[in-house]
A and B are shown apart, each in its own frame.
Chain A
Amino acid sequence: MGSCFSPKARMNITNHVRAPRLRLLASLVILVAMAALAQPLSADVVYLQGSANPTFNLRFTELLEAELGPDTEVRAFASLRTFDGPAGPVITLGQEALARVLETGTQRQILALLVSPETIAGAAENAGGRMSTVYYDPPLLRQALIGRVILPQASRMALLARPEQIGDYESLTEELADYGIEARVFVVTGDEALIPTLSRALSYGDFLLATPDNVIYNPRTIKHILLTTYRRNRLVIGPSHAFVKAGVLASSYVPLPDYAAEAARFIREWQRTGVLPEPTYPETFSIEINHQVARSLNLPLPDRDEIRAEVRRLLHQSDGEATP
């Protein structure tokens, strides 16, 4: 596949060979051009719309290229403004990048990375069936099981949710019941109600499962949430490993190289079938733990690899096809 021209590219080249007397010269030019561009022209192409952070874009591109290998070229999506390049899906990094790509009205398939499921759901309506993603936010079931493994005696888990989200957690609540965890949702009706509701939630739950809802959990609120929770000698799990650095006890996450590898798998699938796979969570994950918080809470912790293995075991024990 790597050495073939696309049909469109081949037609363009053919249209440029008109006069028989120039046939030889043209052939020479084509041969020279082919020799000069042998590598790119023989590769598949994916287009990348990066984030506003060039350092991160570079890092991700390196990881992606390493996974895709030399046969697939990663080009800037911006290059399509001046030259309608070869077929290939578009990878976007973050919500802003996705919005930019959608604004261009491109008909290419889009692999939207590092965006929330809600963003994907909204954008997919506009993009028809041309969009997929590799979820970056950890699945809540896995997060809850981390809480269970870290605190094996935990049998009650509290969640905070906005009124319109209550229904979103019904399936999670049912799934957790199979693991012996009784989950309950406490409704945050507004900014003023956050801490009072949290306080009541902590009276119920052995730990708090923080969800990737940036209205409830954000840089402005997380400090108050953690202060309130730790004063009550309770734990917070999630919503992401960024929050672990801010004082949350633990969260699972997908290491960036693994995330890039999963994105590369999607690209290879497109190259094989012409269609991006359905959105999914990466198979691999890691767990980040704030050991200072654990020590302060007098919490004896297993090694994080042991925690991960136990979480995997629980996930597969309940359902062999469970999403990790």
Chain B
Amino acid sequence: MPASMSLALVATLLTSPAAGADGTEVPPWLALGESGTAEDIYSAVPEVLTTTRLRQPKARVPGTTTVISGETIRDLGMVALADVFRLVPGMTVAAVGTNQPTVSYHGTVAYEQRRLQVLIDGRTGYLPSLADVDWNAMPVPIELIDRIEVSRGPNSAAYGNNAFLASINIITLSPENTAGTGLHAQGGGPSIRNYTAYHGHARDKYSWRVAWHRRESDGYDFQYDSDDAFRKVPIRDGFEFNQFYYDGVLQPSPYHSFEFRAGVTDGIDEDDPLKMGGADLGIQGEPDDEVRDHYLQARYGYSGLDKHLIEFQTSYQRYNRDKDWTSCIQLDGVPLPLCTSLNEDLQQQRLEFELQDTWELNPDLRLVSGLGYREDGYESETFFGGSGEIYQSRLFANLEYTPVYWLTFNAGANYEHTSLLDDNFLSPRLAANLHLTENQTLRFVYSRAVRTPDALEQRANWAYTPENVSPSVYQDLEGQRIDAEYDASSPVDFSGYYAEATGDLDEERITSREISYYGQFRLGHGVLSTEVRYFYDELRDLVAGIINVEDFDLGNRVAIDQQGIELETALDLGDTRLRLAYGYMDQEGRYTANDGLSVEEQQETLAREARLSVRHTGSVSWIQRYPEDWSSALAWYVADEFRSGPYQRADLRVAKSVHGPRVSYDIAVIVQHYLNDNPLLSRDNNYTDRNQFFLEAGVRF
């Protein structure tokens, strides 16, 4: 059978079960007939689907893609979603300011990640106005992760602006794979508690699941007092969220399929008064975010046209964050402090439409193309002085062509218009995959991408509006937005309490070249898979500066050249699974703007952008099964090193599972051991104990 057995041949075999004289004919009454729809089956095979939007085996993917299964994540005893990305070479995970993790690929992060595309079951997962990702409140329980694909390298050709350095695609388990009932609890460490419960049914035409997830954490243990640098004080950076989800899959006929998803998040995301950056707001209360998020998503697929699969997807997401507190501020030249209620309320929403056609002319010539529309909206009196929208529309396509068995070409591009810059952008990608053998491929990839600034970077109009003002001498401030215009007419200096973006930012650009190798080998009683990536990236016009109310200052100021090599290899011996990921990167940044900043300030800006850039990243994991359904997992994560020092953590999980004929359950102990006391990125990110212990239990029936 040739290496690329055609679907057409499969279809022929299906329709003529008794045909053929090669001995493979099936007695007609033992054949499955038309009900065995092979096409649908193939679509379930977890090929890489993030990189080009085509389902592709790794050998044909135009770029390096890390695929981490939900099973691996659970076997390793992950307790926080962002920790998963420690398994990806080149990725760093750290909390820049508070307990909110930030994930980067190759760094270039000052505060929040802005240069990654994050998708959750196909809908955009980063916040509409800040391009940041709220990993703590993300509506994805670890228990319900199917797999996570990380397409390493620019991927704007498939997903548009913001898929600048990499794209993350989180895929949750289909309702069919969780049919039945499951309960899971995990707790320990810094008061982390994760609870998940789900129930669902899988039937011929309709499968569904409802789930509840509760996630709690107390965050770091202590920080240092701002007045006394050696005094340890508690830090208020915990969170607690309740989430409810519904997932449904409806297939009324073989050609039509519908997916529906809905979710609600309700909870509190704590913030510490000492950690709210910028101006001294004299916060007296608890400046916590009240989180009220929800999303709706629908997808329709039609496969009734010859060689075409038409998909239409729409989603609506709403992020409501109410954050208010009482401040008593000592204003310059005024004897009495101003006490008032302030807020950083922010409502954001995103509406997306996407129409996509996958056209398979033959197994060696496939085209995916489509168009998308996205509307990001925001409303915040404090951050924007009102509301605003950003409209994006785009066309995308990727052609996969295998002219000879040893060569596959991919050519893709995205053409996008964004109202934020009122401009059009083209992001192309070209790749050639040389299939050295059936299981070894050498790739050459060239891609260009852009990132347009987010709403806060471009349109920030940051000012507070006091309410419940006291003492009465400040009554004039009641309900008055303290912005530049007011400050100009006020005898009191409010200049540190408002900021406005210049609005003249341009797009960031990246040109990336990749040479990578992917190979799989049968090794004794196991399978060894290896992927090596060399990259050389040129990043230009990166937006850099400071985002806070006191010193807000951003510009297209930085250029970075970076190159490196990354290795990801896994050996699966059945009872033993070994995995190694290592990334090495040389990054060289330079200040390119001519804006009068001193050399020291320029260096500081460069250093700030490199907060999450490290030379060595890696992880080693060893998952072992033992008789009687015992198992263990040992993992070591390293990032060497951040400006504040290296990150090194070793995890151990020991689990006992019971697989009964009618019920399965498991219990586990997890230990996280930090190899040093080094507080990462901030001296306030401290745990009192370098050993964190967790217990875990689950049951399914």
Contacts and interface: CB of A to CB of B under 8 A. Distances in A.
Interface of A: 51-53, 55-56, 59, 93-96, 114, 136, 151-156, 166, 184-187, 189, 192-197, 199-200, 203-204, 206, 219-220, 222-224, 226-228, 230-233, 240-243, 245-247, 253, 255-258, 286, 288-293, 295-300, 302
A186 B701 CA distance: 11
B218 interface: no
A227 B40 contact: yes
Contacts of B59: 295
Contacts of B234: none
B174 interface: yes
B525 A153 contact: yes
Contact of B14 (A154, A223, A246): A246
Interface string B647-667: 000000000010101111000
Contacts of B202: 194-196, 224, 228
A226 B522 contact: no
A231 B47 CA distance: 10
A82 to B, nearest CB: 28
A232 B7 CA distance: 23
Contacts of B527: 151-153, 299-300
A232 B71 CA distance: 9
Interface string B166-193: 0000000110111111000000000000
Contacts of B525: 152-153
A232 B38 contact: no
B69 interface: yes
A226 B41 contact: yes
Nearest to B5: A291
Interface in B405-459: 438-439
B35 interface: yes
A236 B23 CA distance: 22
A191 B573 CA distance: 35
Contact of A199 (B13, B42, B45, B700): B700
Given A199-B177, A242-B26, A246-B36, A296 B700 contact: no
A296 B179 contact: no
Nearest to A212: B30
Nearest to A166: B661
B625 interface: yes
A95 B27 CA distance: 12
Contacts, number: 208
B35 A223 contact: yes
Contacts of A195: 176, 179-180, 202, 207
A243 B17 CA distance: 11
B37 interface: yes
Contacts of A95: 29
Nearest to B525: A152
A111 B533 CA distance: 62
A196 B35 contact: no
B27 A245 contact: no
Contacts of A231: 44, 46, 146, 173-174, 176-177
A233 B69 CA distance: 9
B36 A223 contact: yes
A100 B432 CA distance: 62
29 contacts: A59-B25, A153-B574, A155-B574, A187-B661, A196-B701, A199-B180, A203-B664, A204-B657, A222-B32, A223-B35, A226-B44, A227-B40, A227-B176, A231-B44, A231-B176, A231-B177, A232-B177, A241-B26, A243-B36, A245-B13, A246-B41, A257-B23, A288-B24, A291-B1, A292-B42, A296-B42, A296-B45, A300-B522, A302-B522
A223 B36 CA distance: 6
Contacts of B207: 195
Contacts of B13: 245
Nearest to B521: A300
Interface in B659-680: 659, 661-664
B402 interface: no
B32 A184 contact: no
B10 interface: yes
B277 interface: no
Contacts of B23: 255-258, 286
B526 interface: yes
Given A52-B29, A199-B177, A222-B32, 7 more contacts: A153-B573, A200-B700, A203-B664, A220-B204, A231-B176, A232-B71, A256-B25
Given A152-B527, A233-B69, A228 B574 contact: no
Contacts of B41: 223, 226-227, 230, 246-247, 293
B176 A246 contact: no
Interface string B668-701: 0000000000000000000000000000000011
Interface string B196-217: 0000011010010000000000
A94 B17 CA distance: 16
Contacts of B42: 247, 292-293, 296
Interface in B144-163: 146-147
A187 B662 contact: yes
B575 interface: yes
Given A219-B35, A223-B41, A200 B664 contact: yes
Interface string B610-629: 00000000000000010000
B3 interface: yes
Contacts of B58: 298
B281 to A, nearest CB: 49
B18 interface: yes
Contacts of B491: none
A194 to B, nearest CB: 8
A204 B179 CA distance: 16
Nearest to A161: B661
B520 interface: yes
A293 B69 CA distance: 18
Interface string B51-68: 000010111000000000
Nearest to B577: A153
Interface in B247-270: none
For the complex of A and B, list the 9 residue pairs with the smallest distance between their C-beta atoms, beginning with the closest: A255-B23, A246-B36, A196-B180, A247-B41, A153-B574, A219-B35, A296-B45, A195-B202, A187-B661
B31 interface: yes
A196 B200 CA distance: 9
A265 to B, nearest CB: 17
Given A195-B176, A246-B41, A296 B24 contact: no
